[in-house]
Structure 1
Amino acid sequence: MITIFLQAAGGEGSMMPTMIMMGLMFVGFYFLMIRPQMKKSKQEKNFQSELKVGSRIVTTSGMHGRISQIQEDGVVIETLSGKLKFEKAAISREFTQQRFPDNSTDTK
């Protein structure tokens, strides 16, 4: 079986179709894999830079809390069990006041 492929005559065409296919594959990989990853990375950096004291957040490990201090090397998060220090990269998302309003403003 392998000898059939080895004995086959080589293509006498130009390399242009092969080069065009390689170029199209690179463009496809860029738009399907590289560009979305760069966009996601940029959004994460913007989110981490816009963190502020008092924001309700969730860490990547699932811990809920509020930011009590922002330092250069991380943030201090206040939870029900106390204060913990995390890296900024460990913050997964922020809860907004519209989604989780404070109960202190409710009227009886």
Structure 2
Amino acid sequence: MLGLAFAMGTPAGGQAAGGQSALMNLVPLVFMFAIFYFLLIRPQQKKAKEHRALLDTLKKGDMVVTAGGMHGKVTSIDENVVTLEVAPGVNIKINKGFIANLMKKD
């Protein structure tokens, strides 16, 4: 019981040094957030920005790769739907967000 009494408050006549210990407990959290920001959040935002730019510059005739690995040629683009020709005479419609990459033109 005596240990519980001391854990709940300061002993009579003593002063609490809680201000500095609270600040020292906050420093590692700020440091961890900075690490997460620079190693995880920032690169992910940069990649998402590049993907949006890729989708905005997409045009008819581009050779693309979908997120599922399907290769095709863009035959038409609507607001959210892209039609790809994957073989002569075979067209498929996919969501625009699933375009993963543009193929390099040789």
**Interval of TM-score (by shorter of Structure 1 and Structure 2):** 0.7 to 0.9
Query: How far 1:31 moved relative to its partner?
Result: 0.8
| In structure 1, C-alpha distance between the alignment counterparts of 2:48 and 2:94, rounded to whole Å | 19
CA-to-aligned-CA distance 1:9-61 (integer Å, 9 cap, x gap): 87956222211121111111111111111111111111111101000111111
- Could you tell me which of 43, 59, 62 is aligned with 2:66? 59
Q: Which structure: larger Rg?
A: 2
- Aligned pairs for 1:19-98 (under 5 A) are 19-80=26-87, 82-98=90-106
Structure 1: stretches of 5+ with no match in the other structure: 1-5, 99-108
- How many residues align structurally? 92
Give me the TM-score of the superposition, normalised by structure 1: 0.74
Give me the TM-score of the superposition, normalised by structure 2: 0.75
**4+ residue runs over 4 A deviation:** 9-13
